[in-house]
A = this chain, B = another copy of it.
Amino acid sequence: LVLEEGGPRFEPNYPDPSPDGEALIRLSIGGICATDLELVAGYMDFEGVLGHEWVGVVEASPDPDWIGARVVGDINCPCRRCATCIAGRSNHCPHRSVLGILGRDGVFADQLRLPLDCLHRVPDAVTDEAAVFVEPLAAACRILQQIAVRATDRVLVLGVGRLGQLCARVLALTGAEVYASSRNPARLAMLPNNIEPLGERGWGAERFDIVVDCTGSVAGLELATGAVRPGGTIVLKTTVHEGKAPNPTPWVVDEITVVGSRCGPFPEALEYLEEGLVDPTPLITARFPLESGVLALATAAEREHVKVLLDPSLEESA
């Protein structure tokens, strides 16, 4: 058997599916996340440009259809060829780079690069100020991909910082009764009317079907263990790089499920914004030009701030 040139052939080495298949994008707005603050403190030993929450406009692309498009983008850039990717778990690709977090420069710059297959067009009805929340909003939507939330469930969100605010809003869309707890009254005051604010440990002896830990503190998992009902679910949304989890015996005796949850689906997040089901823009508490990035990071670390934005258009007026 001889295969003729130009006909069917074997290709033992998979070609790179996107050789130079990356778009060059001009940043419209960037957002600062708790992970950025952790990276500055040494997490992941990351070296490079920070930033993974963003909205921008495509300036150059191997596919000209994308040029001029207003876009957001998945931060995980998987190889799409390995067994993990083929099994449908590309967010966990062991060869992935992660925008502004692992092996890839982020968005706190005039321009950024990202593979075309990570991009999502932003609908006209979604402003830049809303679109910059797509990445953390998608992370909140991830919960609904992982666990079933019933309209009869009672849900407690622990911690209403950047991510907790979005998780509570997304969970409330299910019709579940959502409570959110914080020791910060100003953050509780930002919650919309369909979420019940509670002070720290304000639930007393009550127990919840689902508890979502967004505290960013190792104490959160212990609080969650005390607040979830037997047979209930704890969702871990925030990472803590020091300290240990509590003794796991109550998880066995009460058959608790603990679900680690990270990045989520951009299409759902964009649809929530387009349909006006979630409005994250009241969470914006400050906005800085790019050249004031260090001040912006310091501001984001202050307790009275929630979402701090970096906006290159402010540079002109600065």
Binding site for B on A (CB under 8 A): 84, 89, 91-92, 94, 146, 218, 221, 229-231, 236-262
Q: Which residues of B contact A255 (CB under 8 A)?
A: 91-92, 146, 259-262
Report the Cα distance A194→B181, complex, angstroms.
49
- Name the residue on B nearest A245 (C-beta): B245
- B247-A247 in contact (CB<8A): no
Report the Cα distance A146→B233, complex, angstroms.
12
A217 shortest CB reach to chain B, Å: 11
Report the Cα distance A221→B230, complex, angstroms.
20
- A251-B243 in contact (CB<8A): no
Decide yes or no: A253 and B247 within 8 Å by CB, A230-B84, A231-B89 being known contacts.
no
- Indicate which residue in B89, B229, B244, B260 contacts A256 across the interface (CB closer than 8 Å): B260
Q: Which residues of B contact A218 (CB under 8 A)?
A: 247-248
Centre residue among A91, A240, A241, A259 by max chain B CB count within 10 A: A259
- A249-B240 in contact (CB<8A): yes
Q: Which residues of B contact A239 (CB under 8 A)?
A: 249, 252-253
A314 shortest CB reach to chain B, Å: 33
Q: Which residues of B contact A236 (CB under 8 A)?
A: 248, 251-252
A227 shortest CB reach to chain B, Å: 15
- Name the residue on B nearest A249 (C-beta): B239
Report the Cα distance A221→B244, complex, angstroms.
12
Decide yes or no: A231 and B261 within 8 Å by CB, A247-B218, A248-B245 being known contacts.
no
Pull 11 A–B residue pairs with CB atoms less than 8 Å apart, ordered by A. Answer: A92-B255, A146-B255, A239-B249, A243-B247, A248-B260, A251-B260, A254-B260, A255-B259, A256-B260, A258-B258, A258-B259
- Count this chain's copies in the assembly: 2
- Indicate which residue in B241, B244, B259 contacts A245 across the interface (CB closer than 8 Å): B244
Q: Which residues of B contact A247 (CB under 8 A)?
A: 218, 240-245
Q: Which residues of B contact A238 (CB under 8 A)?
A: 252
Report the Cα distance A248→B245, complex, angstroms.
6
- B251-A258 in contact (CB<8A): yes
Decide yes or no: A260 and B257 within 8 Å by CB, A236-B252, A247-B245 being known contacts.
yes
- B257-A257 in contact (CB<8A): yes
Q: Which residues of B contact A84 (CB under 8 A)?
A: 230
- Name the residue on B nearest A242 (C-beta): B247
- Name the residue on B nearest A91 (C-beta): B255
Report the Cα distance A236→B258, complex, angstroms.
11
Report the Cα distance A282→B55, complex, angstroms.
64
A120 shortest CB reach to chain B, Å: 21
- Name the residue on B nearest A87 (C-beta): B231
Report the Cα distance A94→B251, complex, angstroms.
16
A254 shortest CB reach to chain B, Å: 7
- A92-B254 in contact (CB<8A): yes
Q: Which residues of B contact A230 (CB under 8 A)?
A: 84, 89, 92, 94
Report the Cα distance A236→B248, complex, angstroms.
9
